[in-house]
């Protein structure tokens, strides 16, 4: 079976790496990896960590490109490739604009689409925008809908998807995370390098890892989160590490509020290996990221989610993640509870992650094999 796997951003690369490896290891499949290059530098470091060389690189990244540019670039690039190579299936991941455009290009060539991480919903088309629409559009076209949880599968069925097309596999991010954290825990040269890279961290202080980049927080939300971090840093018993996303809005907010605050380290976006190392060392995480809501609980780290809605209600229901929005007092008080109340911290960090056991990629390969 001829499979094309297409992705373009850092989180997609992290989540598709275990899938690429599993398909490439199985001789029943002829696997072609095609990257759109939507996040050039952030994508390449993930490919190198997982030792993946793409077969096709569309390299569509341009300065100041709009969502329309990404859509048109991806669709035009893939149209001729799909028409010439006639894959039996195209696999895309998640909810980015390049994933939606790749699925659409396949659909126009009447090539069946497989959607990894299908069925995530907030219920609000504009939160997050444009991701919620992208997810729904891809799911409508999907012949294989790989839902990470039963709840995601239920959302698909509620929208009328054919139950025979839905496979509950767990999330492939857990496969990727367990591989990387396993390497770190095994020690060796990489662990020593990471310890040296972060030797500025004070082991006596509780480490809080922060990220923030969602468009919905560009309108003052990021600044409020940063104000909350200033108050948390002033306690004296915490240390904050914040890899600041390259987006100009994010850089502006973080630098304006936090650049002079002692105990806050603003650092560049980290490669996946050091980022996993930081999450693993953290006491807790504050983030609006989707993937981190899935990863941190697997490492026993609570996440305060700086959003009003999430497409990952499983983590909220399980209690490992809490939606705190961007209200300063709320972020500070929830953080203080997790620092000061040891019983509550122990309870939250012991909750089992609801996103799978690290076998999602193998289950996806099995489902596709049965489809042959």
Q: Which residues contribute to the site for ligand UD1 (CB under 6 A)?
A: 9-12, 14, 93-96, 117, 128, 131, 173, 211, 213, 243, 269-270, 272, 275, 289-292, 295
Q: Minimum distance from CB of 66 to ligand UD1 (Å)?
A: 18
Active-site residue, 121 included: no
In the set 12, 109, 117, 280, the catalytic residue is 117
Strand (E) positions, the chain?
Answer: 2-7, 30-35, 56-57, 89-93, 113-116, 142-147, 166-168, 206-211, 238-243, 264-267, 284-287, 303-305, 321-323
User: Of 87 and 269, which has the nearer Cβ to ligand UD1?
Assistant: 269
Active-site residue, 79 included: no
In the set 10, 213, 214, 312, the catalytic residue is 213
Active-site residue, 55 included: no
Those residues whose C-beta lies under 8 Å from the C-beta of residue 165, and which sit 6 or more positions away, are 142, 143, 144, 145
Q: Minimum distance from CB of 179 to ligand UD1 (Å)?
A: 12
- The dihedrals phi and psi of 202, each to the nearest 5 degrees, come to -90, 110
User: Of 29 and 355, which has the nearer Cβ to ligand UD1?
Assistant: 355
In the set 131, 271, 295, 334, the catalytic residue is 131
User: Of 7 and 341, which has the nearer Cβ to ligand UD1?
Assistant: 7
Beta bridge partners of 167: 146
Active-site residue, 131 included: yes
Q: Are 354 and 12 in contact (CB under 8 A)?
A: no
Active-site residue, 95 included: yes
- CA–CA distance, 275 with 281 (Å, rounded to integer): 10
Closest CA to 133 of 45, 192, 67, 39: 67
- The dihedrals phi and psi of 34, each to the nearest 5 degrees, come to -125, 120
Give Cα 212 distance to the centre of its chain.
12
Q: Are 232 and 204 in contact (CB under 8 A)?
A: no
Query: Cβ-closest residue to ligand UD1?
Result: 94
Closest CA to 243 of 273, 220, 216: 273
User: Of 12 and 175, which has the nearer Cβ to ligand UD1?
Assistant: 12
Active-site residue, 245 included: yes
In the set 135, 224, 245, 312, the catalytic residue is 245
In the set 215, 231, 252, 322, the catalytic residue is 215
Q: Minimum distance from CB of 325 to ligand UD1 (Å)?
A: 15
User: Of 198 and 371, which has the nearer Cβ to ligand UD1?
Assistant: 198
Which residues have a catalytic role annotated? 95, 117, 131, 213, 215, 245
């Amino acid at each position: 079976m001829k499979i094309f796997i297409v992705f373009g951003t850092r989180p997609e690369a992290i989540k598709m790496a275990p899938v690429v490896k599993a398909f490439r290891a199985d001789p029943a499949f002829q696997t072609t990896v095609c990257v759109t290059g939507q996040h050039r530098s952030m994508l390449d470091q993930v490919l190198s960590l997982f030792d993946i060389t793409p077969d096709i690189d569309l390299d569509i990244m341009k300065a100041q490109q709009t969502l329309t540019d990404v859509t048109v670039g991806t669709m035009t690039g893939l149209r001729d490739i799909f028409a010439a190579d006639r894959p039996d299936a195209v696999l895309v991941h998640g909810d980015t604009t390049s994933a939606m455009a790749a699925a659409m290009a396949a659909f126009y060539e009447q090539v069946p689409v497989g959607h990894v991480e299908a069925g995530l919903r907030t219920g609000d088309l504009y939160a997050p925008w444009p991701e919620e629409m992208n997810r729904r559009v891809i799911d409508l076209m999907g012949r294989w809908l790989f839902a990470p949880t039963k709840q995601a599968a239920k959302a698909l069925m509620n929208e009328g998807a054919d139950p025979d097309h839905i496979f509950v596999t767990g999330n492939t991010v857990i496969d990727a995370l367990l591989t990387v954290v396993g390497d770190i825990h095994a020690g060796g040269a990489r662990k020593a390098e990471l310890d040296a890279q972060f030797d500025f961290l004070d082991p006596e202080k509780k480490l809080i890892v922060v990220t923030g980049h969602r468009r919905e927080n560009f309108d003052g939300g990021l600044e409020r989160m940063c104000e909350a971090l200033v108050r948390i840093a002033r306690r004296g018993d915490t240390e904050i590490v914040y890899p600041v996303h390259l987006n100009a809005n994010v850089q502006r907010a973080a630098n304006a509020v936090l650049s002079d605050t002692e105990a806050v380290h603003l650092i560049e976006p980290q490669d996946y290996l050091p980022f996993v190392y930081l999450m693993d060392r953290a006491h807790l995480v504050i983030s609006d990221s989707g993937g981190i809501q899935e990863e941190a609980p697997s490492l026993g780290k609570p996440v305060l989610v700086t959003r009003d809605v999430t497409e990952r209600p499983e983590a909220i229901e399980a209690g490992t993640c809490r939606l705190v929005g961007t209200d300063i007092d709320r972020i500070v008080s929830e953080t203080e509870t997790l620092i000061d109340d040891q019983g509550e911290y122990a309870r939250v960090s012991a909750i089992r992650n609801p996103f799978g056991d690290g076998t999602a990629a193998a289950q996806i390969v099995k489902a596709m094999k049965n489809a042959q």
